Homo-oligomer: A and B are copies of this chain.
Amino acid sequence: MSRPADRLRPFSLERVPSMAAGAALAVAGSTRVICTASVASEPPRWIRRGADGQPEHGWVTAEYAMMPGSTPERQRRGGGSRAIEIQRLIARSLRAAVDLDQMPGLAITCDCDVLVADGGTRTAAVTGACVALRRAVRAALEAGTLGRDPWLGNVAAVSVGMVGGVPTLDLDYPLDSSAEVDMNVVMNDRGRFIEVQGTGEKGDFSRSQLDAMLGLAEAGIRELHRVQAAALAEDDRGAA
């Protein structure tokens, strides 16, 4: 019996061993993305400096890669243009979670390595990397590297699409392959949009179809924000 078109696949955020400052494993159905957030030992040279020579802001960037065994046909390392487009989306989304001016000199790279790919890897990456990033920021606050908390709120993402004329939430690989329209939506936990990317490579879409897809995405992302909040609340209990 198949999943209703307005329901997410089972989604969880699990712990994963890592040497990085923050980490999380995002699991959406069969899709699994290892997300880590590494703090650079020195701020990048290009960051604007103040009169005192100190960096005036921080930076967050992202890298996305399919691991070789993530698909039945082996993925060659190196990514190519699809990976570049995806990691730019992830990075923009994550930068919306922090006030860069409140983390001067702190440069964090979030790496999203897809262990298993079954559709929705880029949105699982955003949702998981946000938690990894939050953990790295908290570690920097505890270590005193950061004076105050630059966190603006969690961001999460989901895909929606038109499949056989039906607005559908959270496309797995078979759904994605047959979808006429594919849309990725990123929102913060104040219910506002960070990024909307809809593409009709196999078909165009009307304004009302767009509206329907956005509605599904808003509901799905609300659920993802609850999973994120729970995972981060558990950290607090672990620390207590």
A: residues with CB less than 8 A from B are 16-20, 23, 30, 32, 34, 36-38, 40-41, 63, 65, 67-74, 77, 81-82, 84-85, 87-88, 92, 95-96, 109, 111, 113, 115-117, 183, 187-188, 190, 192-201, 204-207, 210, 214, 218
Contact = CB atoms under 8 A, between A and B. Distances in A.
B88 A81 contact: yes
Count copies of this chain in the complex: 6
Contacts of A95: 201
Given A84-B81, A193-B206, A36 B69 contact: yes
Contact of A96 (B81, B88, B201): B201
Nearest to A117: B19
Contacts of A40: 74
Contact of A18 (B18, B116, B205): B116
A17 B205 CA distance: 36
Contacts of A183: 196
Nearest to A72: B19
A69 B111 contact: yes
Given A17-B116, A36-B68, A192-B200, 6 more contacts: A19-B117, A81-B84, A193-B205, A195-B198, A196-B196, A207-B214
A168 to B, nearest CB: 17
A-B pairs with lowest CB-CB distance, top 8: A36-B69, A20-B69, A38-B74, A192-B204, A68-B111, A196-B198, A18-B69, A81-B84
Contacts of A192: 200, 204-206
B210 A200 contact: no
A164 to B, nearest CB: 17
A64 to B, nearest CB: 11
A118 to B, nearest CB: 8
Given A81-B88, A84-B85, A116-B17, A67 B34 contact: yes
Nearest to A17: B116
A200 B186 CA distance: 10
Max chain B Cβ within 10 angstroms of own Cβ: one of A87, A183, A199, A210: A199
Contacts of A17: 30, 32, 115-116
A74 B194 contact: no
Contacts of A190: 204
A197 B200 contact: no
